[in-house]
Every structure is written in structure tokens, then in C-alpha cells.
Structure 1
Amino acid sequence: MTVGSSPIRKDAVAKVTGKARYTDDFTMPGMLHAAYVRSSIAHGTVTNIDISKALAMDGVEAIFTYEDVPDILFATAGHPYSLDPDHTDVADRLLLTREVRYHGDEIAVVVAETKLAAKEAARAVLVEYEELPVCVDAASALDENAPAIHKGGNVIKSHQFEVGGDLETAIREADSSVSGQYYTPVVQHCHMENHIAYAYMDDFEHVVVVTSTQIPHICRRVVGQALDMPWGNVRIIKPYIGGGFGNKQDVVLEPMVAFLTTKLDGRPVKLELDREECMTSTRTRHSSILDCRAAADRDGTLRAVDIAMTSNTGAYASHGHSIPSAGGAKSCNLYPRNAIRFSALTHYANIPAAGAMRAYGSPQVIFGLECVLEDLAREIGMDSVDFRIKNVARELDVNPLSNKPIRSAGMVECLEKGRELIRWDEKKRRFAHQQGPVRRGLGVACFSYGSGTYPVCVEIAGCRLILNQDGSVHMQVGATEIGQGSDTAFAQMAAETLGVSYDKIHVVTTQDTDVAPFDTGAYASRQTYVVAPAIKKAALQLKAAILDHARKMTGKAAEGLDVVDGNVVNANRPERVVTSLAELAIDAYYHKQRGGQLTADVSHKTRTNAPSFGCTFVDLEVDIPMCKVRVHQILNVHDAGTIIHPLLAEGQVHGGMGMAVGMALYEELLTNPENGRVLNNNLLDYKIPTCVDTPDLGCAFVETTEPTGAYGNKSLGEPPVISPGPAIRNAILDATGVAVNRMPMSPKALFTHFHDAGLI
């Protein structure tokens, strides 16, 4: 069995030895370098731009301003193309703009012989502005007197749904209800590899873009739209990637480098952002305000949940209202047997644009949901874990929003397992009635998440398998490996179905839109779930072709043959080898009368979406006078269906938990409300947890078998980041009696809350 084992990653040796080649490792003769001229104000209009001094500097080849680019508004969000006008992304970007909407907006671009020359020339461009008032948050952007950041106003979209019965009646008839307002901050992805891309023309019509992107095929389409080029004239090549976490699920640099090469006779032009630019001029996580209510009876039966979310998308829409929409919809799987109302509004503001980030709105929604439910459990005097066990989803519950049954649900088992592993009951007794400056507390929070984007978006994936002359198999998929280990999982799946060893599957890790099968990319924790059916179908097709050729070679009926351990064997007696795959492949390729190259090429559309489940348990210590939190133990328990690669799965969970601890305790991108300038756009002032700050991370799995998953699997990549934040908040509440209803729960925030509560 290959699925369920932990073979060495396909890219492990290349990465640890430095042989893996990323975008910046490639160069071309005559490569030029570009640098943006960015606005020094957050809101206003450019009244004059003087490029003469910069253009005269040594090494400068060209300078383009907002006057030189196509007057084509385009959307940058990495969503599949939609045939439904109601689901199209907001087209509010130009390649360069005269209308400045955040501090650092792109108003011109310099192309020079070296990166240093381009940067120096960019600083020499002189710009004059007419400034407008700055709006950085919901209060200022939604004020009736606020200036319009885009035509049409500052509200992008709003929506509401109510399911499971009349919510107001349920709250009124319940024994207890609570409410609260919760806040989540702007945070940055901080992936190791900065945004980088270069482009060149291989003839007079075709543009080739080499880029660090999660979405090669979507990127191809967006470049075509931005430049009004036929999509088939654009070729996107994705080498190894040094992380993305959703930031590279946006088309950030590719349209610009494509534009520049078309303007410079097809010469290669590279554009690489430094860390400060990545912090402010790519994408961030949406900050959110969540006004929540919940009601329950004295026996712990949850009656109603009401969440009103205000989401700040920043200067440009990017993924915009999709973020709260997705977060609200996915949460309906978690507590499905009660009235639910979810409403959301997304607005513009003069801060860096927000986009996709790991778990896509769910960390914000679940923070509000799991905090208000904790407050409710305490209000009725019920244990936090018992309250959740009573109300969480079970197998064959029906999602009240989609009306689809939940086919696999290990949520109750996750809670029971986590409770046992962290010794919840024992510690609860031990930590009761604490006094003094240092106190211990326990917290728990749950999550649910989807496995892809269907039915909101199309879910399409492709797989091509080729039997090589030596009996090994080449695999091409359109799905992108961005560090998460998907190539390894795909090889395991193919090996499992074909009947060959894992080391005989060679995965082409570089996506090239001219060659690779179509796939929309790495996002939404979709890949192992959505690509698996295409792999399984292709493997079965190739296996059938192999057995049919074995029939031609041996005269034995194909129905009586099988492939085991890389050999064609008798199905009823696997120890009887008929021929090896290497011998069969040589015959297929080179026999003069029979055979040919044996291949399979499958494109598959997935029309299901399996929810995964899980929870976080936290044991922490709060030093009240020092306003400091020390996590003693943090544990995630996941129901992700069948685990394809246990070691990679554990790594995914640890990585997500580490990100979540950062968001919960340290990270916030701060903006000056007066002028819109980001105050901490570097890794010195923007505090991410280092190895010294990160606690020991624990994880466990409850394996279910998801019937809609080709290998029983469902999502795992994003879910680990969702529930640690509210679990930490709930543990601080348990330790101190103080509800800190905002992230990050940094010493600064704790001081304010502890002071107001009279603890300091």
C-alpha cells in the first residue's frame, strides 16, 4: 500500500541540496530589470509626473507611466473564469494608476540594465499630487461623508442568509443568549520567496512569463485580459516556489512584465519585489469586525447563531467579498442543527489590498463564532468540550445552507481525542480557583472547512500519465506544487492504482501552460481532493492499456491479468509474473507491428465538496503583571478523511498552527490612520514568531473515509490555521476571567484588557 505511508518527498533532495531552481535562479542574455515608482501618499490624484531626470540616468532603458499603459480595468483574483456575471471578480485595477488609493500604489515603472539602476531611477522620478482624505478602517470608509475610493462608493458588496428556522424566534425562546464584538487584524503571509517574475517574447506574438505563482492557468487568462491579448498567445511557466499561502493566488506582477517585454521588442524583463514591497504592495489577510450573538437552552442545546461581519479589503478588491462569503458558508457545516444567520459587508479603504490567505475567511469567522460560543457555554454553566460535543456535526447531518448531507464527520471523535490527549478533565480540576499573578487556563475551539470551491466555482483538474521505455511512469498534472507536498501525494495515488512502486512515478513539477493539463491551481485545500479523481481515472486507463498490450504479447486474456509491484501477473496468482513493465514497455515502443506509446490523459470536473473537521486544545499560562502568554501545550486534532502521507500531513498541521499562533499573539500590519502609511512593513517591526517563540506543536488525526474522495481523503492544507486563535483566547479567558475579543492578544492588548478589568 502506497497511500497511507510516508515515502520521501519527490522534491526533498532537490530542495535540501540547493538544486531546486526557483524563478530568481533563471536568467537570460540581455535581461533587463524593472522597478516600480510608488506613491508617497495614500489617497489622491497625480497632478504631474516628471521622468526626465530618471530617464537620463546611466543604464535606464525606458520609463512608463499611467499614461502609457492600456486603459483596461482587470481583476487580479485567482478565481476560475465564471460564466455567471454574478460571480465575476471586480475589475478595478490598471497596470499603473493616476488615482492613488494606498501608500505605495504603482504609478510608473522604470526599466534598466540592472536592478540597482532601476531602483535608483525610480527614486529620481518626481511626482506631484492632489491629496484626498484617508480612510483606513470601517468607521472612516463607511462614513457618509467619506470620499469615494473607487467609482460607485466604498462598499463592494454585501449579502445575508438565514437558515435552520427563524433566528429571532429561536433567540427569544432560548433559555440564555450572549453577544459580543470580535476583531481580527491585517496580517501578512510572509512567505520565504518574494514575488518575482520575468517575461520575454519567443516570437512577435507570444509572451512567455516565468513566475512564482500558485495559479499558472488562471494567470495566463488574467494576463491576456489585462493586455487585450488572445489567451493562447500567453505562456506561463511555474518553476519551484518558495511558498505562497494565498498571496500568490493573485496575479500581481505577471501582467506588468508581459506588458514591458511587448514594449521592448521582446527583451526579457524581470521584476522582483523586495520584502518591504511584499509587505505592503502584494496582498494581506482581510481585517474583520464580527458582531455575534448565540443562544442555547440550559441543557446545552444550541438554538441560534447570528454573525454580522464587516470585512476590509483595502485599496483594491482582489478577492473582495468572496472572503467573508466563503467563511460564512463553510462554517455552516460545523453546527448544522440550529438557526443560523450570517450577514457580511466588504468595503474599500486606503490600506494595502487584502486577498486570499490560508483558510480564506474562515479564521475570521471562526474566531467570532468560537468566542461567542465559549461565552455562551460559560453563561449556562456547561463544560466547553461537552457543549461542543452536544452540538457539532455528525455523519448524515444536513448542511442547512447547501441542503447536502455530511457524508463523513469525525468531529465528536476529534473533541474526545483532544480532551484525552491534553488531560482536560484532570487539568480543569487542578486549575480551578486560581489566585496570584501567574495563572493557567485551558481553551478549545472547533472548525469546519471545505475541500475546494464547488459549487461556487468550477472544479477541474487534469492528469497525464506516460509509460516510459524503462517501465517507469511520467506524470503531468496542472495542479501546482508550492511546497505543500502535492506532487508526493499525487505520485502515491498513481502508484497505488497502477500497481507500481512510488519511486517509479516521475512527477513533472514545473507547470507550463503550453504543455501541462488544465487545472486552476493551488488554493482552497482542493488539490488532493479535486485532482485525485483525475489521477485515479488516468491510472486505471493506463493500467487497462498495459494489460491490453500484455494480452497482445502473451495471448492471455487481459481480464485474467493484473499489475503488482511493477510486473504484469496472473490476477489469481500474483506470484506468477507474466512480464515486467520494462519488458512490456520496450515491446510497446519498438515492436514493428504492435503497440505504441501507452498513455492516459484525463480531465475531470468534481461536483462535490466534502467538509473536513477538527479542533484545537490549548493549555497556557498567563503572567498578568507582565501581560505575557506562555503556551505549555497546543494540539490540533483533524478529521481529514484518509491520510495520504502521514508525515506530510503532520507537517501541514504544524505549519498552519505556527501561522495561527503568530496571528493570535504577535502579528498585525499597522497603518497610521492620519496618512495611511504602513508603520511596520519589514520583518524587524512586523513580529512573526521565531523558533524561540513557537511552542511545541502537537497533532493527531481521526481517520474517516470520505465516500466522495477518490482515495477517501478530504482537505487538510488550510484547516490547521483556523481554530488555534479562538482556542488561545478561550484559554486566556479560562485563566484570567478576562475576554480578550481581538487578535493579536499581544502584551499591549492584554495590558489594556487587564487594566480595564482591574487585574493591574
Structure 2
Amino acid sequence: MSIGQPVKRLDAEAKVTARARYTEDMLPPGVHSAVYIRGTVAHGRVVSMDTRAALAVPGVEAVFTHADVPKILYATAGHPYSLDPEHADVADTLLLTDHVRFHGDEIGVVVARDELAARRAASLVEVVYEEYPVMTTPEAAMAPEAKAIHPNGNVVQRSEFSVGGDAEAIIAGADVVVEGHYETPITQHCHMEPLVAHAYMEDMERITVVSSTQIPHICRRIVGQALGIPWSRVRIIKPCVGGGFGAKQDVVLEPMVAFLAWKLGRPVRMALTREESMITRTRHAFRMHARMGFSREGRLQAASLDVVSNTGAYASHGHSVAAAGGGKLCSMYPHSAMHFQAATVYTNLPIAGAMRGYGSPQTIFAFECLMEEGARALDIDPLDLRLINAGRPGDVNPLSKRPIETHGLVECLQKGRELFRWDERRAAHKNSSSEVADIRRGVGVACFSFNSGVYPVGVELSGARLTLVQDGCVLLQVGATEIGQGADTVFAQMAASVLDLPMEAMRVVSTQDTDVAPFDPGAFASRQTYVAGPAVKAAAEDLRSRILEHAAEMTGYPAHALDLKAGFVVAVREPSRVFMSLEELALDAYYNKDRGSQLTAERSVKTRTNAPSFGCTFVEVEVDVPLCRVRVTDILNVHDCGVVINPATAKGQVQGGMAMAIGWALYEELLVDPRSGQVRNNNLLDYKMPTFPDLPDLDVAFVQTLEPSGGFGNKSLGEPPLLSPGPAIRNAVWDATGVKVNAIPLTPKALFPLFREAGLLRDY
């Protein structure tokens, strides 16, 4: 049984020995390089472009401007297609534009025989602009006199919902009311492999695009839409991917390289520099105002959250990020009323899109910081306050009205309390905030809830194909996309468990090709094991039946009397009786002149459920008061992700998310000049990510529940590890110093004025 075993990743050796093939390893002969000409103002109109010097550079083949590309507006967001126009993504992007909306916007493109010539030529293009006022904040963009960044105005969309009654009225009548204003920054994915793609013509009609993408099937559709051609004329190939974290859930380079290959009739590649990648897609900065009302006993009666999301120059994933961040809160403490409203606003900043957590890190930060406010106002242990209010199995999600079959938050909190030694540490640091000491310690806790996919907002469809190969191995093809998270290994475990095969007998086609791979929207929303798992399971069950039917033909026994065990056909009632190996059966199916056929099975499944995952973070911090510096000394994440399919890869997922969350809480932010709109630190020297010396041991624990809607009892895990460390760290800093910080990251420059105002720096 492969489920629950710490199986080594199938791609591990290929990746650590550099044999894995990425997009740049698959360049066709004669490929040319394309480089964008980028706007050098944050807001304005291109009056003229002089390309003569660029065209004179040796090796340059062509220069294209906005006048040379299709005037087709398209949406770049990697969401499943919707038949409902009301759920369509905002189509506000052209291949090239003459209306510059952020510093670095794409106003032209140079194609040359090599990248050096293309970049030199791009730098020689002379552009004259009519400059407009630069707006880097939602408040500036929503001002009555603000110039429209897009024709429909500067507010992309607004939304709100209420559950459980009139939250504002309930808060007004509560025994204890707390409120706060919270801010989270613009951050970057910093995936190791920058955005890269190339394209070539298969014939006079069909375009093949090879891309480092999370969403090959969606990419095919968007390229077709951007070029105004039938989707079937586009083929997307996804090789190994060097990380994405949501940045590659947007279709960014693929329409352009497809257009250039189509126009020029030769292969064209585009690979962004690190500096370009870091301004291409970011995490939305949120400004949030939140209120909560509690009874004297600590029962959360109602909460309200008002969000303003900064989406930058183009919608990309637009308002869905803020809306999703609000909707996913409802399962955590489901017995309270809630009012949520949000607005997403265009500004002259780099484009914000999907990033790991998809709005939930921001909203969880506000919610769990405010829970800490409530605990202090009520004089209740913060952990106990969460235990009072946490949902239980069988509770109903107040927003979706669906029962929550598995709700392990209470168990996660209880397990974490014991493993982290919460009560002991809290007592030890009880007086830290009142001490006069340079080094102070404190502890914090925070919770999260998160969904397992996008249903019912979007379609959840996934396909799987299994083929018995002549040597008795089984080949698996899935539409679900391996981007480094270990999905292929987990799918192989699922199929192996149904077929009762050793993992050595499983082969997985990891490269997606939209011409031959089963359909699946891609890697996002922590959906793949939950949504693709049932398709893999159904296909494996079908193949198992076909194998046993052929074994029945070979042996004369009825199929129900036969079974598969460890790659052999055996008798059900007498498992020690072996009839044949799977290899012998496969050879007979392929090559017997009178019976059999290639044994395959393919299933496509639409998932109509969305089970939430739960969990929490416990953290201890050390604060160096004179240096205004925070160091995480101990951290523990506890997760209810249903049944853990592979403990080794699951632990790796959680640890990676925790490291990312520590960076978000303590170090990372893109710094933008508010006057010019220019990003000042879009490189890995000045953008401060945590490295190994900055991280403590990352402790992980699981509470396993059996989720009935999951194919193997499993739920989401990819994004949840990122959600609760941020507020837990903030709460621990408050515990250590008595200073509450309502904006992250908690850098020395942010802490210094707060510590000085609190009198902590009076002797320095």
C-alpha cells in the first residue's frame, strides 16, 4: 500500500543531477531571441518611438510596436474558462500598448538572432511620452480627480457578503469590541526559474509554445484568444518547471512568442531577466480594517472586515484574490456572524496576480491579529480563545451552506499546545514585555482555514490515463501539472495503491502536452491531489478491472475470483496461489494472436465539493530591542489536510511554506518610489529573502482526518502552510515587547518608530 508512505520523489535524481529538462533545455535550432522595450515612466502615453537605431544593430530581425499587433484585449489570469460572462476575467491587456500604466510596461519588442543584440537594440529605441500623474496608492487612484488608468475607471470590482445576521449590529451590542487597521506589503514570488517561453510553427497554421507554466491547458486557450485564432491551432508543452508559486498561473510571455513565431515564421524565445520577472507579477498589497465583538465568556459573536486591494496596472487575477481571501475565512470560526466587503483598485504599480495563499495570507493576518486583541481585552489565553470558537466536524460553512465533514482545528490546537509546550513557554515569558532588557522573548499562535480547489466559483475537471506497458509497468498521464511540488509522485502512489503495484512499476509522463495530455486546468488553489486524485483512482480501478478480465480469459477463472497483489495475478481465496506476473499478462494482451488488446483506462472527473483544510502555527520569537530586530527561535505548524498521502513530500511542502511565511512577516517587500512608481529593489541582492541562517528548525505535525469527499481521504496542503505564521509572529512580538505592530514586514525600519514611541529605546 503506497498511500501514507514516505516515497522518494520520482523526479528527485533527475533534478539533483541536472538531467531534468526545463524550457531553456528544449530550444529548437535557429531560435531567435525577443526582448521587450519597456516604458520608462509609470503613467503616460507614447507619443512617438524612433526604432531606426535599433534596426541598425547587427543581428536584429524586427521591431514591433503597439501599431503592429492585434488590437484584441485579453485576460491573462489563469482561471478555468467560464460560460457565464459575469464570471469572466477582466480583459484589459494588449500584446503591446501605447498607454504606459506602470514603470516597465511593454510598449515594443525587438527580435534578433541572439539576446545580446536584442537587448542592445531595445536600449536604443527613443521614446517620447505624454506623462500623466502617477498613482501608487488606492486612495490616490480612487480620488475624484484621478485620471483613469483603464477606460472603465480605477476600481476593478467591489463585492461584499454577510452571513449569520447583521454583523455590524451584533458587534455594536457585544460585551467586548476590538478593532484594528492592518496592512500587508507587495511581495514577489522569487521562483528560481524566471519566466521563460519559446514558440515555433509546426506548419503554416499550428503554433507550438514551450513554456514554464503552471496552466498549460488554460494557456492554450488564452493564446488563442489573444491572437484571435481557434484554440486548436495552439499547442502548449510544459517541461520541468523551476518554481512558480502563482506567478506562472498567469499567461505572460506565451501570447507574444506565439505571435512572433507566427509573424516571422521562425522559432522565437523570450526569457525575462530577474529584474523583469520581479516586476511582472507580485502579491497584492492589502489595507484592511477589521472589527470583532465578543461575549464576556469569549464567544466570537460577529466580525467585519473591509479590504482594499492594490492590483497594480492591470487586473490579472483582479478582484478574485480579495474575494477569495474573505470567503475562505468562514470555515474557521463558523458560529459567528460576519460581514466582508472588498474593493480592488488599479494603480500605477507592477501587476499583482496569483501568489501562494491567494488573498488568504492577508485576510488571515488581519483576522488572527484581531483575535489576539480580543484575547487581551478579555484576559483569556489566546489559545483558549481560539479553542472556544473553533469549528467542529459537522458544522455548516455559513457562506456555502455546506456541512464541514472533517474539521480538525481543535485537534490541531490541542496537539500544538502539547508539542510546543505552550503553557510552559507562555508562563516563562509572562513578564517579558514589562522587563527592561535588550533581548526579550515571546510566544504567539494563529489559525487558518483554506479550501481544496475553486468549486463552485469555477469548474473543477481533471483527467487521468493509465496504460499497461509490455514489461508489466504502468504508465500514468495526468493533466494536473507538476511544477516542483511533488504531484507526480503522489499520483503514482494513488494509482499504485489501487493496482497494488510497487512504486518501481509506475511510470509518469511529467511533461504536459495539450495535444495528448488529459484535460486539467493546472496547478493552483491547492487543488491537485483533491481534484485529480478521484480521476486517477477511477482510471486505476478501470484498468484493474480490465487486467483481471484478461487474466480470466487466460486462466479460465472468473474475474471476481482473481486479484492483483504486488504485480502478480493471484487467487482471491488463496493469495499464495500465483497465476502469472503482470509482465506475462501484458505480453499476452499485446501479442497473443487471438485475444487481448492494449490495456488502457482513461477517466475524467468533475469535482463538485470543496473540503476546507485547517491548522495553526505556534511560534517563539527573540526581539533584540536596541537593534529593532526579530528572530524566530522556534516554530511549529500543525495541519489537518485529511489523509497524508506522502509524509516526506507533505513535510517538505509545509516547511517550504513556513520559510516563505517568515520572509513575508519579517523581511520581504518590494520598495516603490511613490513619485516615480519605479521599483527600487527588483533584484535578489536588495530584495531581502530569508536564507538558511535566518530560519530556525521548521517543525511540522499533522492531525489526520478522513475526508469523505477526497479520493483518498485527502484535502489541500500546498498553500495552507503560508497562512498562519505571519500573524503568529506578530502576536509573539507583541507578547515579547508589549508593542503591537499592525503592518508587516516587521523590519527594523518599521519597528524603530514604534519601539521609540513605546519608550523601549529611551536609553539608546
Pairwise same-fold verdict (TM > 0.5): yes
Matches of 1:165 and 1:27, distance apart in 2 = 59
Matches of 2:383 and 2:493, distance apart in 1 = 37
For 1:328, the equivalent position in structure 2 comes to: 326
For 1:602, the equivalent position in structure 2 comes to: 603
Matches of 1:756 and 1:393, distance apart in 2 = 39
Query: Scaled by the length of structure 1, what TM-score is found?
Result: 0.99
2:639 aligned with 1:638: yes
For 1:73, the equivalent position in structure 2 comes to: 73
Q: Is the 8 A contact 2:43 2:103 kept in 1?
A: yes
SS of 2:127 mapped into structure 1: strand
Matches of 1:91 and 1:203, distance apart in 2 = 29
For 1:261, the equivalent position in structure 2 comes to: 261
CA-CA distance at 1:71 after TM superposition: 0.2
For 1:203, the equivalent position in structure 2 comes to: 203
One-letter amino acid matched to 1:421: L
Matches of 2:547 and 2:249, distance apart in 1 = 38
2:456 aligned with 1:462: no
One-letter amino acid matched to 2:618: F
CA-CA distance at 1:27 after TM superposition: 2.1
For 2:222, the equivalent position in structure 1 comes to: 222
Question: Residues 386-405 of structure 1 correspond to what in structure 2 (within 5 A)?
Answer: 386-405=384-403
For 2:671, the equivalent position in structure 1 comes to: 670
Q: Is the 8 A contact 2:392 2:407 kept in 1?
A: yes
CA-CA distance at 1:168 after TM superposition: 2.4
For 1:420, the equivalent position in structure 2 comes to: 418
Matches of 1:452 and 1:377, distance apart in 2 = 32
For 2:409, the equivalent position in structure 1 comes to: 411
Question: Residues 77-156 of structure 1 correspond to what in structure 2 (within 5 A)?
Answer: 77-156=77-156
Matches of 2:137 and 2:169, distance apart in 1 = 33
Farther-moved stretch of structure 1 (520-529 vs 23-32) = 23-32
CA-CA distance at 1:173 after TM superposition: 2.5
Q: Is the 8 A contact 2:80 2:521 kept in 1?
A: yes
CA-CA distance at 1:156 after TM superposition: 0.5
CA-CA distance at 1:141 after TM superposition: 1.1
CA deviation profile, 1:551-595 (whole Å, cap 9, x unmatched): 111110001111110011111221111211111111100111110
% identical aligned pairs? 60
Q: Is the 8 A contact 2:168 2:339 kept in 1?
A: no
Farther-moved stretch of structure 1 (144-153 vs 441-450) = 144-153
One-letter amino acid matched to 1:8: K
CA-CA distance at 1:363 after TM superposition: 0.1
For 1:438, the equivalent position in structure 2 comes to: 439
Matches of 2:686 and 2:316, distance apart in 1 = 26
SS of 2:249 mapped into structure 1: coil
One-letter amino acid matched to 1:208: T
CA deviation profile, 1:45-82 (whole Å, cap 9, x unmatched): 00000101110110000110010000000000000110
Runs of 4+ in 1 over 2 A off after TM superposition: none
Matches of 1:132 and 1:583, distance apart in 2 = 74
For 2:495, the equivalent position in structure 1 comes to: 494
Matches of 2:549 and 2:25, distance apart in 1 = 44
Matches of 2:320 and 2:138, distance apart in 1 = 18
CA deviation profile, 1:591-610 (whole Å, cap 9, x unmatched): 11110000001111000000
Counterpart selection for 2:309 from 308, 311, 328: 311
For 1:345, the equivalent position in structure 2 comes to: 343
SS of 2:610 mapped into structure 1: coil
One-letter amino acid matched to 1:620: V
For 2:276, the equivalent position in structure 1 comes to: 277
CA deviation profile, 1:248-283 (whole Å, cap 9, x unmatched): 000000000000001112x10000000000011x21
Q: Is the 8 A contact 2:27 2:198 kept in 1?
A: no
Counterpart selection for 2:300 from 299, 302, 308: 302
Matches of 2:628 and 2:139, distance apart in 1 = 29
Matches of 2:710 and 2:107, distance apart in 1 = 47
Question: Residues 639-654 of structure 1 correspond to what in structure 2 (within 5 A)?
Answer: 639-654=640-655
2:731 aligned with 1:730: yes
For 2:523, the equivalent position in structure 1 comes to: 522
For 1:21, the equivalent position in structure 2 comes to: 21
Matches of 2:41 and 2:455, distance apart in 1 = 40
CA-CA distance at 1:96 after TM superposition: 0.3
Matches of 1:757 and 1:206, distance apart in 2 = 66
Question: Residues 31-42 of structure 1 correspond to what in structure 2 (within 5 A)?
Answer: 31-42=31-42
CA-CA distance at 1:625 after TM superposition: 1.3
Matches of 1:332 and 1:577, distance apart in 2 = 53
2:171 aligned with 1:175: no
Farther-moved stretch of structure 1 (743-752 vs 486-495) = 743-752
CA deviation profile, 1:695-738 (whole Å, cap 9, x unmatched): 22111000110010010000000000001000000000111111
Q: Is the 8 A contact 2:534 2:711 kept in 1?
A: yes
One-letter amino acid matched to 1:290: M
SS of 1:79 mapped into structure 2: coil
Question: Residues 499-514 of structure 1 correspond to what in structure 2 (within 5 A)?
Answer: 499-514=500-515
Q: Is the 8 A contact 2:168 2:304 kept in 1?
A: no
CA-CA distance at 1:172 after TM superposition: 2.4
SS of 1:517 mapped into structure 2: coil
Matches of 2:212 and 2:430, distance apart in 1 = 51
2:159 aligned with 1:159: yes
Q: Is the 8 A contact 2:480 2:532 kept in 1?
A: yes
Matches of 1:4 and 1:57, distance apart in 2 = 59
One-letter amino acid matched to 1:107: I
2:44 aligned with 1:7: no
Matches of 1:437 and 1:504, distance apart in 2 = 59
Matches of 1:453 and 1:234, distance apart in 2 = 26
For 2:359, the equivalent position in structure 1 comes to: 361
CA-CA distance at 1:437 after TM superposition: 2.4
One-letter amino acid matched to 1:164: G
Question: Residues 367-378 of structure 1 correspond to what in structure 2 (within 5 A)?
Answer: 367-378=365-376
SS of 1:63 mapped into structure 2: strand
Matches of 2:180 and 2:370, distance apart in 1 = 7
SS of 1:541 mapped into structure 2: helix
CA-CA distance at 1:428 after TM superposition: 1.4
Matches of 2:160 and 2:57, distance apart in 1 = 55
Matches of 1:526 and 1:481, distance apart in 2 = 12
For 1:555, the equivalent position in structure 2 comes to: 556
CA deviation profile, 1:84-110 (whole Å, cap 9, x unmatched): 111100000000000000000000000
CA deviation profile, 1:497-539 (whole Å, cap 9, x unmatched): 0111111110000000001000000000000000010001000
Q: Which runs of 5+ in 1 are unaligned?
A: none
Matches of 1:431 and 1:490, distance apart in 2 = 45
Matches of 2:419 and 2:626, distance apart in 1 = 30
Query: Scaled by the length of structure 2, what TM-score is found?
Result: 0.99
CA deviation profile, 1:101-158 (whole Å, cap 9, x unmatched): 0000000000000010000000011100000000001221111111111011100000
CA deviation profile, 1:282-324 (whole Å, cap 9, x unmatched): 2100000010001111111110111000000000000000001
For 2:244, the equivalent position in structure 1 comes to: 244
For 1:539, the equivalent position in structure 2 comes to: 540
CA-CA distance at 1:165 after TM superposition: 1.6
SS of 1:333 mapped into structure 2: coil
One-letter amino acid matched to 2:89: D
Matches of 1:306 and 1:273, distance apart in 2 = 41
SS of 2:328 mapped into structure 1: helix
